[in-house]
Structure 1
Amino acid sequence: MGLTDYRALLIDCDGVLVDRDSGVLAALQPLLDSRGGKSLPREQVLAEFHAVIAGLYPRFAELGFSGILCFAHRQLAERWGLPASWEEGMSFARSAGNWSLFEDAPGAMLYLRKFYRLLVCGDRDFEDRGLLCERLGIEADDFISLVDARQWLDRHGAQVQPVLHVTRPSVGPDVSLDRCLIGRQSARQPVPCAADYCINSMADLVAQHQLCLRR
């Protein structure tokens, strides 16, 4: 199926539109600074953060997004043998509202919404969703929680199918959806392509769509 044949794009928020890793690293810096001169490599910090989040995610219904981030901060401090207060954990959790968009995301969303219904899949506290949706140029109803995405598609599938899932190479496949992998870091881009499309950025997705229109 060609790019112009889809009616909707289901776009992952973090790692595709929002630069979560840079936001997490910046918010963890006060904790990392308390190690003194013992710095940790960026990739190690992120790997440990993602491992802790994965372990906490089954408790999402209980903790919510901020709760998971707060507990993640606590667990990382314990892993690294550092003191950390709950206030510092909550400050880390609230930093999610300030995570930056990738530079190409606003322009790509502006272009793509002329041709598709844009659905963004991610987790945010309710008070952060409105501003994020405004920055992305989507309606609040088109921001879908990760835990509700399958149920949402089951309920609304007829209105949006066929859907292309725009995601990261590290995300496991949903066999019911075609996939476009956005490999912002070329080292993580699978070779050969492990999906229907493998593209380097949202800007490249726009360029590929324009090529399809010219054919």
Structure 2
Amino acid sequence: MAALASYAALSFDVYGTLIDWESGMVTGLRPLTDQLDREISDDAVLEMHARHESAAQAQTPARNYSALLATVYRRCAEELGLPADWEACERYGASVPDWPTFEDSADALAYLKQHYRMIVLSNVDNRSFAGSARRLGIAWDAVFTAEDIGSYKPSQRNFDYLLAGIERMGLARSALLHTAESMFHDHVPARANGLDNAWIYRRHQKQGFGATMDPGQLADTTFRFNSLRDMAEAHERGDL
């Protein structure tokens, strides 16, 4: 296994890895879930969201993420048997820039930026990412969004775009470490494309896959950390 310090660049998933999208989703769906006359767990809400988001991304791969989320909100309302006017759907779609960062993300990114070229590969639109980027605080060396690519991970198109992008940057595939939480969106396709990977396992104390679909089989991982801080500290110690 290569050492962390041997890579020249990190490519990042953002939502679920750097941004606490599950908290953002649960909060954003409260206008629906607060109307229920029964209890529904956060994980049940997230799993419902994952089903509808994944279906929408497969059916309308070129659709802007904020617009796609508006439809996801509507589909969730229908599944729960609740009314939802389109204005409420659009408010949810516009909420992505308000989703919080994980508390360790900004500091860990600032440290890693000193040692790597930093690349975004995210299932998001550019306007929404701009709001999240302000929270994350670093200057990215490249930003590849679903809006740019016209499809959503785990589509091969997104990884083709990433690989073409790093080639333009003069980086070999072996110099890139793909860094992400989602097995479904990131690690399974990253490994299929011959990329080394770091699993930031944010859900290590929870059951299931939350806001991502079950990948069926877990991908092999080059590194595993429970937070981005753990990864930064491992690099600083030089123990991997």
- Given the two structures, how large is their TM-score scaled by the length of structure 2? 0.80
Q: Could you say which structure has the higher helix fraction?
A: 1
1:88-129 residue CA offsets vs partner (Å, 9 max, x unmatched): 100111111100000000000100000001112213333333
1:170 aligns with 2:196: no
Deviations 1:48-89 (A, max 9, x none): 10011010002031x311121011011111111111111110
Where does residue 71 of structure 2 map in the other structure?
A: 71
Report the CA distance between 1:160 and its aligned residue: 3.0
Residue equivalent to 1:80: 80
C-alpha separation in 2, matches of 1:167 and 1:56: 22
User: How many pairs are equivalent?
Assistant: 210
Task: Determine which of 196, 202, 207 is the counterpart of 2:233.
Answer: 207
Report deviation, 1:151: 1.4
Distance 1:211-1:53 versus aligned 2 partners, 3 A rule: same
Q: Which runs of 4+ in 1 moved over 4 A?
A: none
Q: Which residue of 2 aligns with 1:24?
A: 25
Secondary structure, aligned partner of 2:64: helix
Aligned to 1:183: 201
Aligned mates of 2:236, 2:139 — CA distance in 1: 24
User: Against the structure 1 CA distance between its residues 168 and 91, is the aligned structure 2 distance closer, same or farther, given a 3 Å change threshold?
Assistant: same
Where do 5+ consecutive residues of structure 1 fail to align? none
Aligned-pair identity in percent equals 28
* Correspondence list, 1:186-197, <5 A: 186-187=204-205, 194-197=220-223
Computed over aligned residues only, the root mean square deviation of the Cα atoms, in angstroms, reads 2.2
The one of 160, 163, 167 equivalent to 1:150 is 160
Counterpart CA distance in 2 for 1:84 and 1:27 is 13
Higher mean C-alpha deviation, range 44-53 or range 114-123: 114-123
**Distance across 1 between alignment mates of 2:206 and 2:10:** 22
| AA at the equivalent of 1:167 | A
Shift of 1:39: 2.1
Q: Which amino acid counterpart does residue 66 of structure 1 have in structure 2?
A: S
**Alpha-carbon distance, 1:193 to partner:** 8.7
